[in-house]
Amino acid sequence: MSYDWSVVWRHADLLWEGTKVTIFLAVTTMIIAVPGGIVLALMRLSGIRILAAASATFVEFFRNLPLILVIYTAYYILPVATGLRFSPIATAIVALSLNVSAYNGETFRAGIASIRKGQSEAGYALGMSRTRVMFEIVLPQAVRRVLPVLASTWVSLFKDTSLVSVISVGDLAFESMRVRSQTFRVLEMLTAMAVIYWLLGYPQAKLVDWINKRYRVNE
């Protein structure tokens, strides 16, 4: 069996296009899912029963489903349910955002809950409103505790974007597999795909470990 690694260089442009799509998906999803997570957490902690229940249901539902299933279902349901035509990439962003928002919602909820009650009570004692206490006292402190978890979620998201290749979004996984099926250089292309993901993911994983150490809460 002879290997021909030149196939990887000859298709470097396609791999680069795929890599850009992968990065775009991860960034866009996080831009949607951070505010999404904050909204879910605020709903959960609002004290209004119906909002809290809606948020809890959303979070538990999407945290307990395989992402690949959410992607497939979104692919089939979105056009029928909305009457609009969704491009694969738009479908991918919807599915990823639903999933990551649910995780972020839980992250923010736990982060906010971890701020001791005395902090908000002190705010009230100073005559601050509920909203001001939340935005000026609780959230700034919660962000510090939430940051390491968000960083881990980011790394998971970056890897999970590969799953959207199943609905033909031209990300790194999809492009690599397409070149593989066109050239039959299976080992070369799949190894190149793994190495590119590794090159992108390894520094991120190390950075997350560092953030976790840096922001560790010592009790």
Partner 1 sequence: MSLDFTPLFDSWRFLLGGLGLTLGLSALTIVFSIVLGGALGLARCYGPAWLRWPLVFYIDSMRSIPVLVVLIWTYFALPVVTGVTLPPFWAATLALTAHISAYVAEIIRAGINSVRAGQERAAFALGMSRYRAIRDIILPQALVRMLPALGSILSITIKDTAIAAVIAVPEYMNRSQTVAGQSFHPIEVFIVAMIVYFAILFPVTRAVDMIYARYAYLGRS
Binding site for partner 1 (CB under 8 A): 1, 60-61, 63-70, 72-73, 76-77, 80-81, 155, 159-163, 165-166, 173, 177, 180, 186-187, 190-191, 193-194, 197-198, 200-202, 204-206
* Smallest distance, partner 1 to C-beta of residue 125, A: 33
Least Cα distance to 137 among 151, 148, 146, 126 occurs for 126
For residues 133 and 161, which CB has a smaller minimum distance to partner 1 in the complex? Answer: 161
For residues 138 and 189, which CB has a smaller minimum distance to partner 1 in the complex? Answer: 189
Helix axes 12-44, 139-160, angle to 10 degrees: 140
* Smallest distance, partner 1 to C-beta of residue 100, A: 14
* Smallest distance, partner 1 to C-beta of residue 87, A: 18
Residue 81: which H helix or E strand, with range? helix 67-82
For residues 145 and 185, which CB has a smaller minimum distance to partner 1 in the complex? Answer: 185
* Smallest distance, partner 1 to C-beta of residue 199, A: 9
Pull the structure tokens for residue 39.
Answer: 């909204």
Measured distance CA(24)–CA(42) in Å, rounded? 28
